[in-house]
Structure 1
Amino acid sequence: MASKHFLCKATEVEDGKAKILTVSNMPIGVFRLDDGFYALLNICPHKGAALCEGPVCGTTKQTDQTEFVYDRAGEIVRCAWHGWEFDIRTGEFLVDPKVKTRAFDVSVEGEDLFISI
């Protein structure tokens, strides 16, 4: 059964970067996106780097053309060690969705953010 833990005040989470916290001895990155707050385990499944401390960015969209199209601005976190890109909402690795970091549900109560673990 999941337990609810206080994370921080919503105003403490800046746009475009993670707020790094420790909850139940786990490093957690909390993100503010246009549609709400999201939390990921701050450990890259590739080599164990501090994933959420990498840049919040977009990615190059796959097209049938020979052009580069930048897409999903602000929805991706890129591991600073090797550049692996993960969806902030789901924790899925963009190249292979079977590879993922743990994502947690975040709830908002007034100005307080809580995580379910």
Structure 2
Amino acid sequence: MSNRIRVAAVADIPPGTAKEVLAGERILAVYHVDGEFYALDGICPHAGGPLGEGTLQGNIVTCPWHGWQFDVTSGQHCLNDHLKHPCFPVTVDGGEVFVELG
């Protein structure tokens, strides 16, 4: 059973930006890229850096602590094909952004 949680208003995450949010007991990073919203686990697997505070260029986020990069649309690490960061389905309803936690 999935758990759909409101994490922000659309207006809270302008295009080309990210927002760190709390969904239940999870820290997530929500990104607004080309009119779509994406959510990744907000904690970088390298050293625990805050991915929601990273630099977003197109669909690539760079962790502010040590520069690890992920494709926010898939969670795929940009240099290591074997490393995929957890991502979560996002829906928008009535100007509100929701994330589904499994």
Normalised by the length of structure 2, the TM-score is: 0.90
Q: How much has 1:11 moved relative to structure 2?
A: 1.1
**3-state SS of 1:114 partner:** strand
- 5+ long unaligned stretches in structure 2: none
Q: Hey, which bits of structure 1, 4+ residues long, moved more than 4 A?
A: none
1:4 paired residue number:
4
CA-to-aligned-CA distance 1:18-65 (integer Å, 9 cap, x gap): 1111111111111111141101111111111112211112xxxxxxxx
Aligned mate of 1:105, from 78, 81, 89: 89
The one-letter amino acid of 1:43's match is I
Considering only CA atoms, is the larger Rg found in Structure 1 or Structure 2? 1
**3-state SS of 1:11 partner:** helix
CA contact (8 A) 1:16 1:32 kept: yes
CA-to-aligned-CA distance 1:63-98 (integer Å, 9 cap, x gap): xxxxxxxxxxx2100011111110011111011132
Correspondence 1:74-89 to 2 at 5 A: 74-89=58-73
- 5+ long unaligned stretches in structure 1: 58-73
Aligned equivalents of 2:28, 2:80: Cα separation in 1: 22
Q: How many residue pairs were aligned? A: 101
CA contact (8 A) 2:40 2:86 kept: yes
> Pairwise CA RMSD of aligned residues?
1.2
Aligned equivalents of 2:31, 2:78: Cα separation in 1: 18
CA contact (8 A) 1:45 1:99 kept: no
Normalised by the length of structure 1, the TM-score is: 0.80
